[in-house]
Amino acid sequence: MKKPIVLTLLFFIGLALQLNGQDARLAQQYYRDGEYEKAAVLYENLYKQSNYNDYYFDRYVESLMAMDEYGECEKVIKKHMKRAPDNVQLHVTYGKLLERQVKDGEAREQFELAIEKLTRDQFAVTKLANAFMALTKYDYAIATYEKGAELLRDQEAFAYNLGELYRRKGDIPKMVENYLNSIRANPNRVNNVKSIFQRFLNTGDYEEVQAQLYQKVQDDPDNPLYPEMLSWVFIQQKDYRSALRQVRALDRRLGENGGRVFQLAGIAANDKAFDAAIAGFEYIVTEKGPASPFYLDAKREALRAKRSQLVDGYAYSQDELQELENDYEAFLNEFGRSKVTAQIILELAELEALYINNLEKATTLLAEMIAYPGVNNRLQAQAKLDLADYYLMQGEIWEATLLYSQVDKAFKEDLLGHEARFRNARLSYYAGDFQWAQTQFDILKSSTSKLIANDALDLSVFIMDNMALDTTDAPLKLYADADMLVFQNQFDGAFAKLDTLVEAYPGHSLADDVLYLKAKVFIKKREYERAAELLQQIIANHSEEIRADNALFMLAELYELQLGQADKAQELYETLFLDYSNSVLAVEARKRYRALRGDQMQ
């Protein structure tokens, strides 16, 4: 063929393709705009010109149906069926047309015929099921997949798809069954299935998952997938003891080093399920021993879990504190006292100072730890802050301010520096230097630490509120003295100061602050009912004073965490964020209110 002729042919082919593309875009625009008559004309031409393309066929048929041209539509469908007798989806299209004409019996015949004519072709099965799903005919889609699995002789081939269909139908047992079957066929889907369960299952639905997994463990005891999944289900139910049983069994069966047990114990500890956490960590220590790479970490985390269990539990005895102290000492005896165990020493010092009331031992521990070579500088700074607090509790103000200042200077723009500056300013407040303290608190109100900023704002407003009303700062000095005595755990002396203040200055604006500080003391002493009475007095008699929002939040926390009255806590949190919307506590109050109400938290 001569070159000019070839070029001419290519030109006309390109022109035809270009015109065809223009017609397709125009047809699509007509279809979108609801101009079905115009769309039908163009799609009919495109359908014929493209050698009966399925996409153009579908759009042509849809346009005819939209115009109620049922007779013409039926002719077009039947002609296409003759051209493509193996295309079972055409029976779905025909069934849809029959349904439009309220010929439901004939439509069902077409749908069933489509499934009956299925061949052993996985792609064809999926296409037919998708055609049924597009019409929200989930039962026919399910029947399609089940017939496909039978033809392919693979009952798990479409398990994931069936799980999705049963989910849409709201059939939880069948949904769970098929999703679990799908992960047996493809273990890589485990995390995906977990995400689906978390998103769509209610708390009670996990019992169905649990029951089916128990059966699968019995039917296929050598498959580790099911105990792993069962452990995950127990975690969702916060049944950490049962989850631990599963992962320990897996650890033994697979001859592992305790890694999955350590991970579960950490999750339990974070969720304050301390008994399960401690049991998990101690399993690694006792059964895996020093050869396990998790041995040291497990010992350390077991200590922390025991400590948190006591401190967060609010019901510890001196014997329990003594036992925990012995555990810390045993840890240090085994691993030595160095930069490696500096964090443990910090924790032991806190235990001694704040719970066992052995300030001398606490200060000795920290003074030695600070001097260890190679101690992380941030950990060393935290030790200095704690040591300064313990010096202050012993009345050694100069030693305390010296350490605070060292940390402030070394970490000027860091949160540690902000914390040191706050504690130094608080010390000045205790000492009665209110103006300097307030200046520092005003600076710290812009700290990037929300906790420091809130505490600084609280003390700044407190000082300003009480200095502005008096010609003398004597009442405030009495209160600051009492506040420092509370910090030093000298509660009788603090109460004596506060009583002197009330007697000497009856009706003073500090009356709500006196009640608030006494309530804090009773909480420290674990006398929660007495604390609640004082906080209730503030809410009832001092609702316009600056401690009202603090009192509401503290009382709500008492009802929620210590007194077991969640309804009252919820009511108080709601009052706080509605009536005191400008309070720095309002956002947290709303969050806790929603949690108690049972909202799904993101």
Residue 454 · residue 429 · CB < 8 Å: no
Domain ranges within the chain, ordered by starting residue: 509-602
pLDDT at residue 211 in the model: 94
Phi, psi of 508 (to 5 degrees): -70, 155
> In which band, very low, low, confident or very high, does the pLDDT at 19 lie, cut at 50, 70 and 90?
very low
Helices (H), 54-137: 54-66, 70-83, 89-100, 104-116, 122-134
> In which band, very low, low, confident or very high, does the pLDDT at 25 lie, cut at 50, 70 and 90?
confident
| Residue listed under structure tokens 């020493």 | 345
Does the pLDDT value for residue 83 go beyond 90?
Answer: no
C-alpha 40/C-alpha 312 separation (Å) is 73
Residue 180 · residue 229 · CB < 8 Å: yes
C-alpha 350/C-alpha 345 separation (Å) is 9
pLDDT at residue 168 in the model: 94
Q: What is the pLDDT of residues 417-427, one digit of tens each?
A: 999 999 999 99
Query: Cα separations (Å) of 341 from 299, 328, 335, 336, 348?
Result: 12, 11, 7, 7, 11
pLDDT at residue 421 in the model: 95
Q: What is the pLDDT of residues 267-323, one digit of tens each?
A: 999 999 999 999 999 999 999 999 899 999 999 999 999 998 887 765 678 888 899
3-class DSSP string for 462-483: HHHHHHHHCCCCHHHHHHHHHH
Quote the Cα angle for 569-460-455, to 5°. 45
Does the pLDDT value for residue 10 go beyond 60?
Answer: no
For residue 225, which of 268, 181, 261 has the smallest C-alpha distance?
181
pLDDT at residue 454 in the model: 87
Quote the Cα angle for 193-173-157, to 5°. 55
Classified by CATH at the fold level, domain 509-602 comes out as 1.25.40
Buried b (16+ CB within 10 A) or exposed e, 499-511: eebbeebeebbbb
Residue 350 · residue 325 · CB < 8 Å: no
pLDDT at residue 403 in the model: 97
> In which band, very low, low, confident or very high, does the pLDDT at 84 lie, cut at 50, 70 and 90?
confident
Q: What is the pLDDT of residues 190-226, one digit of tens each?
A: 999 999 999 999 988 999 999 999 999 998 888 889 9
CA atoms within 13 A on the CB side of 56: 21
Q: Which residue has the higher pLDDT, 2 or 514?
A: 514
Q: What is the pLDDT of residues 113-160, one digit of tens each?
A: 999 999 999 999 999 999 999 999 999 999 999 999 999 999 899 999
Q: What is the pLDDT of residues 468-509, one digit of tens each?
A: 665 578 999 999 999 999 999 899 999 999 999 999 999 888
Residue 401 identity (one-letter amino acid): T
C-alpha 431/C-alpha 429 separation (Å) is 5
